[in-house]
Every structure is written in structure tokens, then in C-alpha cells.
Amino acid sequence: MKVLVAVKRVIDYNVKVRVKPDNTGVDLANVKMAMNPFCEIAVEEAVRLKEKGVATEIVVVSIGPKAAQEQIRTALALGADRGIHVETDEEVQSLEAAKLLKAVVDKEEPKLVILGKQSIDTDNNQTGQMLAALAGMAQGTFASEVVVEGEKVNVTREVDGGLVTVSLNLPAVVTTDLRLNEPRYASLPNIMKAKKKPLDNMSPADLGVDVAPRLSTLKVEAPAARQAGIKVADVAELVDKLKNEAKVI
């Protein structure tokens, strides 16, 4: 079966985020970018499905500027077979990303679409669910286990309070949570091989999708800084402060 994986180029998770002085956004100039960590887990899961003989082809898609090709090449080096780059320099919000992915799904007709549960930049946690709704597919969000059985996939989901397992008709959408797997690193030979794998380029217009944003960001600010408090000498002083000063116990 064919698996489609969507990946996003985001600020590297190790980079300290700084808000621009004019409050229009976050400073991304000369900042290290990388594949969103949850998307790495999505790629890994697809590769494992291929290694198990469940997946026969892995197509990786990314929406973004020219440089997003780096993240597609990374996914190809990790084991994806070919890439699709939906190239745009415009800001693409979740609903519009879902519409673009829906158009790709219509062309590629994958049995399974795997995405990260959220990207670590906008923290929206929307695109996979929106894609599933637009495509009329079932979804297994925040997955910690994915088991394909015939025409169904069983997904164990990380929910408040524990785990829930659902059975979904294929084709379906899965979004990854942290514990689904531990992504591998790409080997140098595979990085070299990835350069030769096919990568299609298209625009949102080619897919017939209007990506004009519905949400406008009025301002972006740094969070209020928390003041460091005091150090206490011992446990007795701590309990005394909590009881008599902070009055929280």
C-alpha cells in the first residue's frame, strides 16, 4: 500500500526563540531550520511499515519555500521513495495546508497518510484532522501504536488519562505522538542516494487551492518573564514559607 507522509520545515527545536522587536513575529533570519520533530516520527513510522512489508511506496510532501526541499531530501534519505514539493513563499495556515494535502491525496490516492500531531512553531494541532475531514477519512490522532490489519488500521491514541485504541477504515489519517517510535538518523550513503530520488515541484495554483490566510496575526510578544524567587535553607523553612507567606498549603 502507498503511504503519504507530510513534513514541515520549522525552526530547529534546540534554537532559542526570539520575538522580533517590532512585535510582528518571531525572528527566523539566520536561524537553524529543521524537520518538525513530530514529522520525523511520521517518516520513521512510514519507513518501519515499509520494512515490515506493509507499505510498498512512501511519498513525502512538504508545503513551503524553496528551502523546504531540504526537509524532503532528509525524508528521502530516511527511506521515503519520492517527494512532492508544493512551493510557496506565502504563509500557509492549517486549513489551507489541509486543502493542499487533500489535493495531493486526490492525485496520489494513498491508503494511509501520516503527519505529526503538531508543528513546534505554530503549535496548532489541526492539519491532520482537517485533512481527514476534507477527505472524508477516519483519523487516529496522537498515535502511540499503529497496526495495519487488512483494510483497517488499529491506532492506539495518547489521551488525557491514558490510552484509547480505535479501529479505522482505510484510507485513514494518522497523526504521531512522541512515543510512537524513535526516529533513526540518515546514513551518509542514504543521504547521497536521496539526491537522486524523484522530487516533483508544484504550486498551490497547480493544485487549484487558494491559500489566502483566514487568521491575521496582530502582534507577537515575548511572554511575561517570571521572576526568580528566593532560595530556602532547608525543608522546614520551605514548609513555613508555603504555609505562612504564600499561603498555598
Partner 1 sequence: MSILVIAEHDNSSLKQATLNVVAAAKAVGGDIDVLVAGENCGAVGEDAAKIEGVNKVLVADNAAYGHFLAENLSLLVADLGKNYGHIFAVAGTTGKDFMPRVAALLDVAQVSDIIRVESEDTFVRPIYAGNAIATVKSSDDIKVVTVRPTAFDPVAGEGGSASVETVDGAHDAGTSSFVSEQLAESDRPDLGSAGIVISGGRGMQNGENFQMLEKVADLLGAAVGASRAAVDAGFVPNDMQVGQTGKIVAPQLYIAVGISGAIQHLAGMSDSKVIVAINKDEEAPIFQVADYGLVADLFEAVPQLEEELKKVL
Chain positions 145 to 184 lying near partner 1, rule: CB under 8 A, are 154, 157-169, 172, 177-179
130 makes contact with partner 1 (CB under 8 A) = yes
Query: Which C-beta is closer to partner 1: that of 14 or that of 89?
Result: 14
The 10 Å CB-count burial string (b at 16+, else e) for 137-164 is bbbbbbbbbbebeeeebebbbbeeeeee
Strand, coil or helix: 167: strand
Cell numbers at residue 4, please? 503519504
Which helix (H) or strand (E) segment holds residue 154: the answer is strand 152-159
Interface size with partner 1, residues (CB under 8 A): 77
Among 21, 32, 150, 216, which residue sits at the site for partner 1 (rule: CB under 8 A)?
216
Query: Which C-beta is closer to partner 1: that of 1 or that of 170?
Result: 170
Nearest Cα to Cα of residue 187 among 75, 73, 78, 53: 78
Residues 29-88 close enough to bind partner 1 by CB under 8 A: none
Burial of 123 (C-beta count, 10 Å sphere; 0-12/13-18/19+): exposed
Q: Report the nearest approach of partner 1 to the CB of residue 85 (Å).
A: 23
Determine the interface stretch with partner 1 among 59-67, 81-89, 135-143, 183-191 (rule: CB under 8 A). Answer: 135-143
Alpha helices (H) in 59-197, listed in sequence order: 69-78, 94-108, 127-135, 188-194
Q: Report the nearest approach of partner 1 to the CB of residue 200 (Å).
A: 25
21 makes contact with partner 1 (CB under 8 A) = no
Q: Kindly tell me the sign of the dihedral angle through the C-alpha atoms of 131, 136, 142, 143.
A: negative
Query: Which C-beta is closer to partner 1: that of 61 or that of 172?
Result: 172
Name every residue whose Cβ is closer than 8 Å to that of residue 198 and which is 6 or more positions away in sequence. Answer: 82, 83
208 makes contact with partner 1 (CB under 8 A) = no
Determine the interface stretch with partner 1 among 56-64, 70-78, 122-130, 202-210 (rule: CB under 8 A). Answer: 122-130
Among 57, 87, 91, 121, which residue sits at the site for partner 1 (rule: CB under 8 A)?
121
Determine the interface stretch with partner 1 among 72-80, 94-102, 189-197, 199-207 (rule: CB under 8 A). Answer: 94-102
Query: Which C-beta is closer to partner 1: that of 133 or that of 205?
Result: 133
| Alpha carbon distance 174, 135 (integer Å) | 13
